[in-house]
Chain A
Amino acid sequence: MARLAADPNRRVPPAVEFRNVTKRFEIGGSGQAHVAVDHLNLSIQPGEFVCVLGPSGHGKSTMLNMLAGFTEPSEGYVLHEGNPVSGPGAERGVVFQRDTVFPWKRVADNITFGLKARGIRRTEREKVAAHYLKLIDLERFARAWPHQLSGGMRRRVAIASVLANRPQVLLMDEPFTGLDYVRRDKLHRVLEQLWSEVGCTVFFITHDVDEALTLADRIVIVMHGKVTFEMRVPFERPRSTELIASKDAVDLRLTLLGHLSKALTEAS
């Protein structure tokens, strides 16, 4: 499966960079501020698949929102290819945790929404829709309404809709939460297949250590608004269930869980 590899010896600007980023939220007019992200530094190379792990409420989604352009940092810079992020844009596609497939558009029209927004011609849009529908195995449902699909199918449509737009960075905020193991595994395959075709950089938030081990080139743990641990995942793709259950993977899992537990214990 072809993909862009992050070559540490090659000097290329990071696809994404958090440079001493702090984000504060005022707590309900009290004058007090909650520091969601605290002088965070992180670089992600082009084509890299980074999974961000960490407990709830420790700044992961805030990082994603800043990278998506939905909010601005209080201090520091969030950069995309060296340029400060200012507002949402098609070059940074977002797959949300909640269902965002447009209910009033058919499946094929959902997939080509971004293309239409950018003025791509109909014939080209139809080709792209056909291609992605085939990749996500939903060719028969091109004219279906989203309410006629299952949750897993709508997730596939959501991912295809964002990737059909060919973003340079793909941001995913716990996109498979609530799905059962079988559906989740299937969606992992779909995501990897689409990602290998598009070759974008991926910023993927998850609570699931196994999911991170299955998908990531690099796992970053964020706690209390800071990067506290980073680790490369040395396994080749595709990563089977047997590989994730192997001794090497278990060791990595224990390392990650150990770090998470220790950091939480020290904080309390």
Chain B
Amino acid sequence: MSAPAASESQGAVVFGKKRARALLPGARPLAELGATIGFGALGMAVVLLIWWAAAVRLGPLRLPDPWTVFVAIKANWRSIPAMQYVAMQGGGVGDALAFTVVSVLVTVAFGAALGVLVGVALPHVAILRLVTTPALAVLGSTPLLILLPFLVQWFGPGRFVRSGIVVIFTFVVMATVCFRSSAQAIGSYGLYARSLGAKPAFEMWHVVIPALVPDLIAGLRVSLSTAWGLEAVAEIVGGKSGIGRIISTMAHLANTTVILAVVVCLCVTAVGVDGVLTFLVRRSVAWRD
């Protein structure tokens, strides 16, 4: 048996080098990160393999293989000749992706800000609660995408309708999440905070807001994951720019390769943004076990 642990912070007795490495500061998170990346890469490799097999089975016209799509992304990144010719529109996959990403982030941010304000206010303002709760229930159950063609017909294919869908969806999600979370925080900790002398504003800032941060970020992730699809579909139906516009134009030209190329770019971006959000979650809720 080897010697006891050198310092109290290392805890248990050390047995051999493996255990010593595991107990070094930072070793465990690095190992976990390595495992996460490794297994993630393995998972992606399996997806690509299945895609390749399906592409071989279905043929290049119906389903291009991953390499063809990757080449198409590179070739069309700065400009898409077909878009210039058919839609008389410049720019490539990169520009369209940037447009869609900015649209989604701005509209989600706006919808989230409204939703958080309303959601946090609901437990405190009875009239607002009576007025808003039924509307939230209806909007939350309504499949907004089905309304899209009607909204485009009534209000035109402009920014208002495209952004409005994402804003409404995000608002409903965030308001519902924040309402439930802040009501729970008030129920669990409100009386205790007040018995320590906290006034309402102090209670809001030091109890309610921190308590709802995990649920708020979870709500943001849900909102974003759906917002990508909502924005893309809205662009398909009535947009003049963005990923959806490329998809609708390339669909008319039966150019499956470019369609898949922009979809893959959108997916990768969505995963990347979710990854950033996950990182922020871990940093901001270090207090959770």
Contacts from A to B (Cβ < 8 Å): 68-70, 87-90, 92-94, 96, 98, 100, 102-106, 113-114, 116-118, 145-148, 161-162, 165
Contacts and interface: CB of A to CB of B under 8 A. Distances in A.
Nearest to B210: A104
Interface in B232-289: 285-289
B197 A145 contact: no
A244 to B, nearest CB: 31
B191 A162 contact: no
A154 to B, nearest CB: 13
Contact of A102 (B189, B199, B285, B288): B189
21 contacts: A68-B191, A87-B194, A89-B194, A89-B195, A90-B195, A90-B197, A93-B196, A94-B192, A100-B192, A102-B207, A103-B287, A104-B210, A104-B211, A104-B213, A113-B198, A117-B193, A117-B206, A118-B197, A147-B288, A161-B196, A162-B195
A117 B210 contact: no
A89 B189 CA distance: 14
A69 B191 CA distance: 9
A104 B287 contact: yes
Contacts of A70: 191
Contacts of A87: 194
Interface string B188-228: 11011111111100100011001101000000000000000
B194 A88 contact: yes
A94 B288 contact: no
B284 to A, nearest CB: 10
B: interface residue count bin:
20 to 34
Contacts of B213: 104
B245 to A, nearest CB: 44
A118 B192 CA distance: 15
Contacts of B206: 105, 113, 116-117
B197 A89 contact: yes
Contact of A145 (B195, B199, B286): B286
Contacts of B288: 103, 147
A106 B199 CA distance: 21
A161 B202 CA distance: 17
Nearest to A68: B195
Given A100-B189, A113-B206, A92 B197 contact: no
Nearest to B285: A104
Contacts of B196: 90, 93, 113-114, 117, 161-162, 165
Closest 6 A/B residue pairs (Cβ): A90-B197, A114-B196, A88-B194, A147-B289, A104-B210, A117-B198
Most chain B CB inside 10 Å of its own CB: which residue of A70, A88, A90, A147: A88
Nearest to A158: B192
Contacts of A96: 192
Contacts of B188: 98, 100
A89 B195 CA distance: 5
A181 B80 CA distance: 75
Given A89-B195, A98-B188, 16 more contacts: A68-B195, A69-B195, A89-B194, A90-B197, A93-B195, A94-B195, A103-B287, A104-B210, A104-B285, A105-B287, A106-B287, A116-B206, A117-B198, A147-B289, A148-B289, A161-B196
Nearest to A88: B194
Nearest to B191: A70
Contacts of A118: 197
A117 B192 contact: no
Most chain A CB inside 10 Å of its own CB: which residue of B196, B197, B206, B286: B196
A116 B202 CA distance: 9
